[in-house]
Structure 1
């Protein structure tokens, strides 16, 4: 990579913290697009990968930097995969132009009221572009399986973390430390794969231990 500085196609403070924690050991500095005056990109597509590519190209074009984009969300089996790509905007309405995490969580609890089947997974699609016109974007996927609770638990994390329960740990994602979460989360999984692919593409030795 020609520069150790990359632009993140997001202004989500939780994602910025997680990516910097995961990439700083590699000497990579992640700068959110908002600090560079880059507006958010539309996410009109029905799939995570299409939205992630669109966001990465948008951020790279306007910054002139390599770009990393993450499109992720929670997919609930009983809801046919919803919220899915709508995870950040699940509670969007005329009254809620920019729904908060609490709004989205409350709507998910409401949708699952009385439902016994609670299985779900977090999914993450990462896209890295060396430039806006990169014809070979690096794409990596990660999945994290669990269940949805009917009330939030935990004070850490962001998004749907307080509702996402991991049976093997007996905790929600919001009850894990940042270090614990980064080791096993959908985003941590995808980033490990992406770093390996980046290593292959650049034929450059990178310390893969995160």
Structure 2
């Protein structure tokens, strides 16, 4: 029996006792986690396809450990501008082991856990709207990332400047793309201090937030 399930924005074909490496999860090591966005189930001769997900189906797993992936080298060059940048990136990952695949009777606790942060974000929205900064002014941050950071309680340059780059990577792990957050706190610090000329000069040397 196998299933195709969406985990942290990616789709995986999984079976019982299989180890899977996914984008960093917030669940602590040793704890169990349930994924209910099951797109397909195969049980012998029967194949069930969701529309888009299968109602009541779920994949239960256990978090083994958190780790970093292999280093990926990114090299960029602009013709006739003398611009060359070489960067390395290691994605934050979580190793999980599939413990069970449920075709029905899945617990509904997981959706409630996901709904709680969204509800809190909506309640906090009026307060954030009065003091929030435009985080998109930080090189490498787009609308989706800015929205994700705001939902996690980081909506101002000062808050971003105090955040750890690795923690930021965990928060935006579900946002598609290869994001390097190393310079974001330093950029936010300059913005918070109103040093826009200094920030712009530095950003001219950056590429997607990467030095």
Q: How would you bin the TM-score normalised by the shorter chain? A: under 0.3
TM-score (norm 2): 0.27
TM-score (norm 1): 0.27
* Structure with a larger share of its residues in helix: 1
